[in-house]
């Protein structure tokens, strides 16, 4: 639809207002009122309009922000290295565009690591001399919430590493599907509002002031990256994942190194259906440039790394509809 500047401004204002409201419900209240694909579509529309009408771009637009505001109920944690968001790709063409930008930015061949994008809550864990001292939510990327006591209840978070390292590691805390179903059944029996999805249940559990509640919720974690570490021995993200495992930090076993974007696309396709068999929810695939020196060369935008992107699966509702159509023909 072709719009003049006045119409575009009106549309931009409406989208911003709606998106701010959705972000607050999702990130701060853990209670979204619309499905993710609707949020993603509106965000995409806003980004395109802001590109077309750069005069209306503002630094406080939801398109420029990461996550949501931390709750006052928790002690605030400043992230030394910001916890950012990821750019998105919604189809093969956008993955090839990402690859073109990456190769243009490095002038070299690039290999990638593909990982499952776990649908949970981003957390940062700090270890000092091998001891777990602090865990925080991402919050707005710069300031998160101290949820150490709740994270200590997750059995797969080691309270002591296998070596006395000082580091900050990042990952996704999540609620496995069986725990989610059991929790919602129990809530409904008690007449409590069920959680919308496992992500909200995990986030809601970890943002409780009483750690006894989190302890009962059977949460788990996969760690996927390093925030800070003075270690120089790895040259690639894939090596880092292996090092993390050696330290006792649980990574997701399904990651794969791919030599070019076509291999990445095959990996992505292979998970569209297979993801139903996992006992946790994923909402996409994260693709990261493997070599750390190439990551450094590519750097970051204000909101996300240029060396990574998230392929988002089509909405489950859309898949069901397609299947229904196939069956009914
Ligand atoms: P994002 O979901 O696009 O991706 C960034 C996050 O992915 C990281 O912070 C990390 O937590 C996670 N992640 C999972 N596995 C990972 C891995 N292997 N490696 C690296 N990161 C991994 O970005 P976002 O800023 O967290 O949130 C935006 C998304 O949240 C939207 O695309 C939308 O789907 C959803 N959202 C929905 C609503 C709603 O109302 N329904 C509102 C706001 C946001």
This model of the complex carries an ipTM of: 0.94
| pTM for this entry | 0.92
- Determine which one of 9, 11, 42, 117 is catalytic: 117
Give the pLDDT of the chain (329 residues) as one tens digit per residue.
678 999 999 999 999 999 999 999 998 888 899 999 899 999 999 999 999 999 999 988 999 989 888 888 899 999 999 999 999 999 999 999 999 999 999 999 999 999 999 999 999 999 999 999 999 999 999 999 999 999 999 999 999 999 999 999 999 999 999 999 999 999 999 999 999 999 999 999 999 999 999 999 999 999 999 999 998 889 999 999 999 999 999 999 999 999 999 999 999 999 998 999 999 999 999 999 999 999 999 999 989 999 999 999 987 654 444 444 444 33
Q: What is the DSSP string of 116-164?
A: EEE-SEEEEEEEETTEEEEEEE-TTSSEEEB-HHHHTT-TTS-SB-SS-
What is the β-pairing status of strands 282-289 and 308-312? Answer: antiparallel
Ligand 1 pocket test: pick from 20, 83, 112, 117 the residue with the most ligand atoms within 8 Å of its Cβ: 117
Q: Is residue 228 classed exposed, middle or buried when 0-12, 13-18 and 19+ CB atoms within 10 A define those classes?
A: middle
Q: Is 117 designated active site?
A: yes
Test site for ligand 1: of 26, 142, 256, most ligand atoms within 8 A of the Cβ:
26
Q: Which residues does ligand 1 sit against, CB inside 6 Å?
A: 22-23, 25-26, 32, 34-36, 39-40, 66-67, 85-86, 88, 115, 117-118, 122, 138, 172, 224, 286, 310
Listed in sequence order, the residues at least 6 apart from 78 whose beta carbon sits closer than 8 Å to its beta carbon are: 142, 143
Ligand 1 centre to CA of 296 (Å) is 22
Tell me, in angstroms, the distance from the centre of ligand 1 to residue 85's CA.
Answer: 7
Q: How far apart are the first and last CA of the chain?
A: 33
**Beta strands 112-118 and 282-289, pairing class:** antiparallel
Q: What is the DSSP letter of 304?
A: S
What does the alpha-carbon distance between residue 90 and residue 85 come to, in Å, rounded to a whole number?
Answer: 16
- Structural contact between residues 199 and 173, judged by C-beta atoms closer than 8 angstroms: no
Dihedral sign (CA 46, 50, 55, 60):
positive
């Amino acid at each position: 639809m072709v719009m003049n500047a006045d119409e575009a401004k009106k549309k931009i204002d409406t989208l911003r207002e709606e998106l701010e409201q959705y972000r607050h419900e999702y990130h701060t209240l853990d209670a979204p009122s619309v499905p993710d694909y609707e949020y993603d579509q509106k965000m995409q529309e806003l980004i395109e309009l802001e590109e077309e009408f750069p005069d209306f771009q503002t630094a406080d637009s939801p398109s420029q922000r990461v996550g949501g505001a931390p709750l006052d109920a928790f002690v605030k944690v400043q992230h030394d290295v910001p916890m950012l968001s990821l750019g998105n790709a919604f189809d093969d063409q956008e993955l090839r565009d990402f690859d073109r930008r990456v190769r243009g930015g490095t002038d070299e061949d690039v290999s990638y690591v593909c990982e499952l994008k776990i649908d949970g809550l981003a957390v940062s864990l700090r270890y000092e001399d091998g001891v777990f001292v602090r865990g925080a939510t991402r919050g707005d990327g710069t300031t998160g919430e101290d949820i150490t006591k709740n994270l200590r209840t997750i059995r797969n978070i080691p309270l002591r590493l296998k070596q006395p390292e000082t580091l900050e590691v990042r990952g996704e805390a999540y609620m496995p599907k069986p725990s989610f179903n059991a929790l919602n059944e129990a809530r409904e029996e008690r007449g409590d509002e069920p959680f919308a999805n496992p992500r909200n249940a995990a986030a809601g559990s970890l943002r409780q002031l009483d750690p006894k509640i989190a302890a009962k919720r059977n949460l788990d974690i996969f760690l996927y990256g390093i925030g800070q570490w003075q270690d120089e021995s790895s040259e690639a993200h894939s090596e880092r994942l292996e090092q993390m495992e050696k330290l006792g930090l649980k990574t997701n076993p399904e990651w794969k190194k791919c030599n070019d974007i076509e291999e990445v696309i095959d990996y992505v396709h292979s998970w569209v259906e297979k993801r139903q068999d996992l006992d946790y929810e994923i909402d996409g695939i994260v693709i990261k440039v493997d070599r750390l020196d190439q990551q450094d060369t590519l750097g970051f935008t204000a909101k996300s790394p240029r060396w990574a992107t998230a392929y988002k699966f089509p909405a489950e509702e859309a898949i069901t509809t397609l299947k229904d159509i196939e069956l009914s023909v």
